[in-house]
Chain A
Amino acid sequence: MSDQIIRLLQSSICFGTVIMYGAMGEILTEKSGNLNLGVPGIMYLGGISGLAASFFYEFNNPDPSRLVCLVISFLAAFGAAALGGLLYSFLTITLRANQNVTGLTLTIFGGGVANFFGGALNTMAGGVGQISVAATSAAYRATIPGLSGLGLVGKLFFSYGFMVYLAIVLAVVMHWYLSRTRTGLNLRAVGENPATADAAGINVTRNKYLATCLGAGISGLGGLYYTMDYIKGTWGSDGTIESLGWLAVALVIFAMWRPINAIWGSYLFGLLFWVYLVIPGLARKDIELFKMLPYLVTIAVLIVISLRKKRENQPPASLGLPYFREDR
């Protein structure tokens, strides 16, 4: 296999991992019937919080411990993103604001917060593009010693930071949770038919809050992985996270709300996004057309599932609809 192909596959997996986190969080959220269009904003929040936490730690400690770097940035990212989810939940569930409008506002707000503080961090670090959290980034990108040296296999399967594997584990766990556990079953019932769930004694509000906040936290990890691993512990206010966030929303549809599908779906999106690398003779403008592929594929999937009307592949039935018991 040529180096080019290997590089393509590696890029696809790294790219895919970012959106896989975003999509998995959104799948969990949507399973509770909440359509959170704030995924890009939440990923922004996760990315900047992780970066800021490790930056301040590294800034104040000449000899940072990698483990501490990891833990604080991870917790900060997850926590900040979950807070974004909490804000969304409070507005849509308790205050009954429109889900779409609230989600879009969260995207604007999250992007604003992240880029504002990203810029501020850059300034503190000495100028545009100067911020770098080398120790933390190194911790995120550390590979398993020994395995990555195993030639082709090592390059393809063991050359990534731990979050790539964590994403896969998380997807499998989520699949198991949603399909094999009582609470997972209850959560799906809430997203499908909240009135039925309510009648069966399931606390609809609590399920929605929990799923949305946890989901936001997971989505936020996508932002964290992007800043720490994908762009190696730096910050760029170029709007990439936002477009990746929307791609994560697209991936939710593509995966037909199944975490397992999100694994290969995300890598496929990565492949479609980077496939121009191996096509010889492309001008830069043509590359942009290739980057359209993931979205076109998603549209096609969206149309096909609405055409086939297969019940299992549809969005959760109450997706985007508010539920108030007294409207019964």
Chain B
Amino acid sequence: MENTYAIQMKHVTKRFGKVVANDDVSLDIKRGEILSLLGENGSGKTTLMNMLAGIYFPDEVEILVNGTPVTIASPKDAFACGIGMIHQHFKLVDIFTAAENIVLGLHEEGKLDLKAVSARITDICQRYGFVIDPNKKVYNMSVSEKQTVEIVKVLYRGADILILDEPTAVLTPQETDRLFDVMRNMKADGKAMVIITHKLNEVMEVSDRVAVLRKGRYIGDVATADTNPQKLTDMMVGHAVTLNIDRPLVEKRHLRLEVRDLTVRTGEGVKALDGVSFQAFGGEILGIAGISGSGQKELLESIAGLRAAEPGSHVIYHPPAPDEPIAGQHVPVDRAGEELLGKTPRQIHSIGVSMAFVPEDRLGMGLVGTMGMTDNMMLKTYRSGAGPLLDRKSPRELAQRVKDELDVLTPSLNTPVRRLSGGNVQKVLVGREIAQEPSVLMTAYAVRGLDINTSYTIYNLLTAEKCKGVAVIYVGEDLDVLLELCDRILVLCGGQVSGVVDARTTTKEEVGLLMTKFRKEASQA
């Protein structure tokens, strides 16, 4: 049989504990074709491809490479099948040169001849239109150069099936164009390529065929020429699911937080946030949507005083007015508003701003994994009280209260919290943050990895805070939840605000498009 398929995956199922990451997925990859694998975060795209690359071993599968059934149990097996994957997180040794990284781990005959290696690298580069200096050290390279090294590494090993996991996430538009040119060259050379992405414009631009995954299931595939972004969005997000989250409207909303021209650079000097401006009000939940890595983490951390911002950025806090229900608990500060940037978390606290923050990394940032509930309750308040000794009485009472009210399952209040399940860890963290009676409550991926009941507990807690007059900022990834939980949704795209919409009237499609297609209108609600 003349086989045009480079790879056929049939009935792939992969479970992580109870979670089914891929459920009976079948996928074909043709030679001389660029296939886009499209899906939201957590739809199982990367997991599926990791099984081709030998990172995970599937529970159920049948894989044919060039028509022959194979077993791929390790990255080595994948190489032997001619499959190479370029991961989102580069696997490179920083102090090695490009050439050294490329030959790493290869069992070639003869002695190591880096000159010959360089020559072959240059050869590959010329063939596909890359530019790379084989003798440059990786730590001196830009992200795009590192990615090139990864691609060349795979080609050097003779791969003719390439999988690229969100390759453009870290690239500038120009670099993206260059990458796409190279991909087209490789396609012309008869190589099969899979590009994992959730950016629709790129799908339209580079791929020949699109396969869509949603919540671990295979939805279908279409030729790119026969579709459009709207149809793809429908396939990707599916129909809106009704969650029945209670969403009361708070009549009196007061300006609480004003972010103006917030620009933040990462350690590497890349702009993670670029001129972000918005307002958050007491009595509403402001949802923040966006592809992961669009600047959500940087946004919350700079408001919380954990990250430095560029000059000209402002985060202004407006304390509760005397007629607000939560006013009594908060020290009134200057009515003109207080600049929060440039202050440490302690300074922010000391001027009377009660800011609650539930970070994404629960055990690495929000909690001390080796401590029990009691000791974690006092993480932000342990300084209170006179004298050098800790007061454990009120934290213990608080821990008990959180345990009772939120049904935290723990053997004891002193059991290290890292031994608790994900849901209970999150209850401890959210419980503590709410207990400090905040005026601003920020949460990052508050329900990630939680079961449905715990998720609803969290939604209800956030809504209750909103009703008290707290300004809640909810960074989320599930559009269904954002649409039903929040009052307004701010969409971040590439570190910029691509839109602010009313959650009650908007549609999933609208938000989805804002997430993927940048629009330069910094609209204010």
A→B interface (CB under 8 Å): 180-182, 185-186, 188-189, 192-193, 195-197, 199-202, 311-312, 314, 317
Contacts and interface: CB of A to CB of B under 8 A. Distances in A.
Contact of B112 (A180, A199, A317): A180
Contact of A202 (B94, B105, B111, B137): B105
Nearest to B137: A311
Most buried by B among A186, A188, A199: A199
Given A181-B112, A311-B137, A311-B139, A186 B104 contact: yes
Contacts of B92: 193, 196
Most buried by A among B103, B105, B112: B105
28 contacts: A180-B111, A180-B112, A181-B112, A182-B103, A182-B108, A182-B111, A182-B112, A185-B100, A185-B104, A188-B96, A189-B105, A192-B93, A192-B94, A192-B95, A192-B96, A193-B94, A196-B92, A196-B93, A197-B93, A197-B105, A199-B75, A200-B75, A201-B74, A311-B94, A311-B95, A314-B95, A317-B94, A317-B95
B112 A189 contact: no
Contacts of A185: 96, 100, 103-104, 112
Contacts of B104: 185-186, 189, 196-197, 200, 202
Contacts of A180: 111-112
A32 to B, nearest CB: 14
B106 interface: yes
Contacts of A197: 93, 104-105
Interface string B104-117: 11111001100000
Contacts of A188: 93, 96
B91 interface: yes
Interface residues of B, number: 21
B76 interface: yes
Contacts of B95: 192, 311-312, 314, 317
Interface string B73-101: 01110010000000000011111100010
Contacts of B137: 311
Contacts of B79: 201
Contacts of B112: 180-182, 185
Contacts of A200: 75, 91, 104-105
Contacts of B105: 186, 189, 197, 200-202
B198 to A, nearest CB: 24
A259 B104 CA distance: 22
The 4 closest A-B pairs by CB, nearest first: A200-B105, A196-B91, A201-B105, A200-B104
Contacts of A199: 75, 91
A interface, over-half SS:
helix
Contacts of A317: 94-95
Nearest to A180: B112
B49 to A, nearest CB: 15
Given A182-B111, A189-B93, A189-B96, 4 more contacts: A180-B112, A186-B105, A200-B104, A201-B75
A187 to B, nearest CB: 11
A171 B141 CA distance: 32
Nearest to B95: A311
A181 B107 CA distance: 12
B503 to A, nearest CB: 38
Nearest to A203: B105
Nearest to A186: B105
Most buried by A among B79, B91, B107: B91
A314 B95 CA distance: 10
Nearest to B87: A199
A185 B105 CA distance: 8
B370 to A, nearest CB: 16
A279 B96 CA distance: 45
A202 B104 CA distance: 8
A202 B76 CA distance: 10
A182 B95 CA distance: 16
Contacts of A193: 91-94
A180 B96 CA distance: 13
Contacts of A192: 93-96
B440 to A, nearest CB: 35
Contacts of A189: 93, 96, 104-105
Most buried by A among B91, B92, B95, B112: B95
Contacts of A186: 104-105
Contacts of A311: 94-95, 137, 139
A96 to B, nearest CB: 18
A228 to B, nearest CB: 35
A217 B92 CA distance: 31
Nearest to A199: B91
Most buried by A among B91, B104, B108, B111: B104
B383 to A, nearest CB: 32
B476 to A, nearest CB: 27
A201 B137 CA distance: 22
Interface string B334-369: 000000000000000000000000000000000000
A195 B91 contact: yes
Interface in B159-178: none
A195 to B, nearest CB: 7
B77 to A, nearest CB: 10
A63 B79 CA distance: 62
A188 B101 CA distance: 11
A197 B75 CA distance: 12
Nearest to A191: B93
B17 to A, nearest CB: 14
A312 B93 CA distance: 12
A202 B74 CA distance: 12
A314 B137 CA distance: 15
A182 B111 CA distance: 7
Interface in B366-405: none
B15 to A, nearest CB: 17
Most buried by B among A181, A185, A197, A314: A185
Contact of A182 (B76, B93, B106, B139): B106
Contacts of A312: 95
